[in-house]
A and B are shown apart, each in its own frame.
Chain A
Amino acid sequence: MKEMRIIVCAKQIPDPEAPLSDVRVDAANKEVIVDAPQVISPFDENALEAALRITEDLGGTITVLSLGKKVSDTVLRKALAAGADELILLQDDAFDKLDSYSVAQALADAIRKIGDYDLILTGRQAGDWDSGQVGLLLGEILGIPSVSLAREISVEDGSVVVKKSTPEGYERVKAALPALVTVSNEVGELRYISRTRMLKMLKGAGSIPSWGAQDLGTAPDALKKMSIVELSSPPDMRRDCQFLEGATPDEVAGKLAAVFKSLQ
């Protein structure tokens, strides 16, 4: 079988695991400000892990595509350190605050420019806007079969076989390549990358290709934006916690048991 050519779409976002105290809503500018380092969106890391396992089994190459106004190669080089073969940054002022469809459109243009591919993997949703649309939209725009919510992916005889989560369990489905799959966390975390390897990648001389809207041929008016009318803080969720204390765990457990009793 021919070697697999996999494209993984990975978004750079402020760490979604940042403590709540580091997150601020700037209502005037309609922006969520997160005082945390940039990372690769977690489900996209799962997608990369899935791609790495497939190429380990079958051979092939992985290209990681990341789109934004300004994409940091220090963040995305992690993908190379993990074992991806190529990184392409799609960056342009025109890619600022795009809605899901526009992102998918620009990614589709980039993928057409790359030309040859067998499988596209994306995360099931990004950890900043939580929209969960780009992967499926990309499949539609490119006109290839798509499968969502993968918990296991394998490639057999020119087809991708996916175990996808359903509310009742799972479904195994099969689609001919090229195809698109959106990946969920059950696939497994991105492999451990040693510090030395990460540092080597960061220092690595290799320049990372960067394409703008013009290189992609994406017409600026194709990047229509969904407008944000208002951005606000969520309602306060705090409650007044009553701490149960005691000299021994037994004593605390007794108090807790009494709480359960009172709630019965």
Chain B
Amino acid sequence: MDDVLILGDMKEGSLDTRTLELVGVGRRLAKERGGDLCVLILGDAPGGGAAEAASYGPAKVYSVAHPLLKGFQPEFWLKALEQVCAQVKPGVFLMSHSYKGMELGPRLACRLGARLTTDCIDLAVDPQDGLLLRTKPVSGGNAISVFKCPGEPQMATVRGKVFEPAAAGEAKGEIVEIAVELDASMARVASLEVVKEEVVALDKADVVVAGGAGLGEEDGFEALEDLRKALSKSFGNVMIGCSRVAVDKGWISSDHQVGLTGTMISPDIYVAVGISGAIQHLVGMVHSKKIIAINTDAGCNMFKVADYGVVEDFEKIIPALVEKLEEL
């Protein structure tokens, strides 16, 4: 009952870094509660992931295999999670605040009669009552709140890139296979089509050149694309990012969006072009190593968090900058 269970996730055949981040924080919480750390891997063929998870030294890795767990149909995953929780009764259950975690977290909490805190940036155990202290940014990031509530399991989804990923250790966890009963009739939402689009993995970028409402129209991104190409000659992985307004206006697809409801990033260089610096945007990029802002408004918030600022119309600066970069 004092055990900490984390939901592991696989990406392209191996454990997602976010799972390793959870392993790190989960291990600390398990120790504070006097329980064990356990990892749960679901899938149609979870064996490889389970073995990989075991090498990070949790007490146990629960491996759940079922053909219907292939891909991600939330209703099957939820039924499987319900059955696993009924069996292993975790004291704390953590998931990443990822696509899957955002979908499964609230629904599973409801089914287990527990309360969830989403998008946590810190977790601790209250020494008095053993309950989880759940630290979460609220109001877009304008405040940080610590929540607590009774009940079991204690549940949270955890923001990515906040905790250090765990390193593989000497100890190997025991792999325990758990059988679940699922049948196709359990899904009330049918998948018609899964479409892979060409999406940018912004969190892998070394340099992000991002545009916002200040670009005025879709064409503004062409200037940014020229800059991206010019920078690509000197930097690895240069990608185009954007603010939400650019998505709302239909100028660019949402995978480019940086921020609270987009991607959280911390590249070597972030270039904000025509982005005012709303809190929901800042939380996504403020950990960038160097921040360069180009904006016509000297008073805009982005300059407050920037290392270098240019108060100028992007239409004048970007082409000139591209030329200068070519000369260097």
Q: List the interface of chain A (C-beta within 8 A of B).
A: 16-17, 19-20, 23, 25, 30, 32, 34, 99-101, 104, 124-125, 127-133, 136-137, 139-141, 145-149, 151, 161, 165-176, 184-186, 188-189, 224-234, 237-244, 249-250, 252-254, 256-257, 259-261, 263-264
Task: Verify if B240 is at the interface (C-beta below 8 Å from A).
Answer: no
Rounded to whole angstroms, the CA-CA distance of A256 and B282 in the bound complex is 22
Main secondary structure of the interface of B (DSSP, over half): mixed
B307 close to A172 (CB less than 8 A): no
Chain A neighbourhood of B278, CB < 8 A = 17
Interface residues of B in 187-219 (CB under 8 A from A): 188-197, 199
Task: Verify if B172 is at the interface (C-beta below 8 Å from A).
Answer: no
Chain A neighbourhood of B118, CB < 8 A = 130-133
B248 close to A128 (CB less than 8 A): no
Task: Verify if B312 is at the interface (C-beta below 8 Å from A).
Answer: yes
A249 close to B145 (CB less than 8 A): no
Knowing A130-B260, A244-B309, A256-B308 touch, does A175 contact B189 (C-beta < 8 A)? yes
Segment among B40-48, B55-63, B298-306 that sits at the interface with chain A? B298-306
B310 close to A130 (CB less than 8 A): no
B189 close to A173 (CB less than 8 A): yes
Chain A neighbourhood of B303, CB < 8 A = 241, 243
Rounded to whole angstroms, the CA-CA distance of A170 and B231 in the bound complex is 30
Task: Verify if B110 is at the interface (C-beta below 8 Å from A).
Answer: yes
Chain A neighbourhood of B140, CB < 8 A = 16, 127, 130
Please count the residue pairs between chain A and chain B whose beta carbons lie under 8 angstroms apart in the complex: 235
Which residue in B102, B298, B309, B312 is a CB contact (below 8 Å) of A132? B102
Task: Verify if B20 is at the interface (C-beta below 8 Å from A).
Answer: no
Most buried by A among B261, B280, B317: B261
Segment among B21-29, B31-39, B285-293 that sits at the interface with chain A? B285-293
Rounded to whole angstroms, the CA-CA distance of A30 and B144 in the bound complex is 10
A104 to chain B, nearest CB (A): 8
Task: Verify if B133 is at the interface (C-beta below 8 Å from A).
Answer: yes
Interface residues of B in 305-328 (CB under 8 A from A): 305-312, 316-317, 320-321, 323-325, 327-328
Rounded to whole angstroms, the CA-CA distance of A227 and B119 in the bound complex is 17
A125 close to B261 (CB less than 8 A): yes
Contact with A along B242-262 (1 / 0, CB 8 A): 001001100000100000110
Using a Cβ–Cβ cut-off of 8 Å, how many residues does chain B contribute to the interface with A?
83
Rounded to whole angstroms, the CA-CA distance of A225 and B244 in the bound complex is 32
B296 to chain A, nearest CB (A): 12
5 inter-chain pairs at a CB distance below 8 angstroms, sorted by A residue, are A133-B118, A140-B107, A241-B307, A256-B308, A264-B234
Knowing A234-B143, A241-B307 touch, does A256 contact B292 (C-beta < 8 A)? yes
B139 close to A167 (CB less than 8 A): no
A173 close to B138 (CB less than 8 A): no
**Which of chain B's residues has its CB closest to A105's CB?**
B110
Task: Verify if B4 is at the interface (C-beta below 8 Å from A).
Answer: no
Task: Verify if B165 is at the interface (C-beta below 8 Å from A).
Answer: no
B194 close to A263 (CB less than 8 A): no
A197 to chain B, nearest CB (A): 22
Chain A neighbourhood of B130, CB < 8 A = none
**Which of chain B's residues has its CB closest to A43's CB?**
B261
Which residue in A133, A189, A244 is a CB contact (below 8 Å) of B308? A244
Rounded to whole angstroms, the CA-CA distance of A130 and B140 in the bound complex is 7
A34 close to B194 (CB less than 8 A): no
Knowing A185-B244, A260-B234, A263-B290 touch, does A249 contact B312 (C-beta < 8 A)? yes
Interface residues of B in 92-107 (CB under 8 A from A): 98-99, 102-103, 105-107
A231 close to B235 (CB less than 8 A): no
Chain A neighbourhood of B189, CB < 8 A = 145-147, 173-175
Knowing A101-B115, A227-B148 touch, does A167 contact B99 (C-beta < 8 A)? yes
Which 9 pairs show the lowest CB-CB distances between chains A and B? A169-B197, A253-B320, A257-B324, A145-B188, A133-B106, A140-B110, A249-B316, A253-B321, A230-B146
B325 close to A231 (CB less than 8 A): no
Chain A neighbourhood of B260, CB < 8 A = 130
Rounded to whole angstroms, the CA-CA distance of A161 and B99 in the bound complex is 19
Task: Verify if B64 is at the interface (C-beta below 8 Å from A).
Answer: no
Knowing A167-B99, A173-B189, A260-B325 touch, does A252 contact B231 (C-beta < 8 A)? no
Chain A neighbourhood of B191, CB < 8 A = 171-173
Chain A neighbourhood of B312, CB < 8 A = 249, 252
Knowing A165-B254, A226-B148, A229-B146 touch, does A137 contact B106 (C-beta < 8 A)? yes
Rounded to whole angstroms, the CA-CA distance of A227 and B129 in the bound complex is 14
Task: Verify if B164 is at the interface (C-beta below 8 Å from A).
Answer: no
A168 close to B197 (CB less than 8 A): yes
B279 to chain A, nearest CB (A): 6
Most buried by B among A141, A146, A253: A253
Interface residues of B in 125-172 (CB under 8 A from A): 133, 136-149
Rounded to whole angstroms, the CA-CA distance of A24 and B292 in the bound complex is 27
Rounded to whole angstroms, the CA-CA distance of A149 and B190 in the bound complex is 16
B142 close to A20 (CB less than 8 A): yes
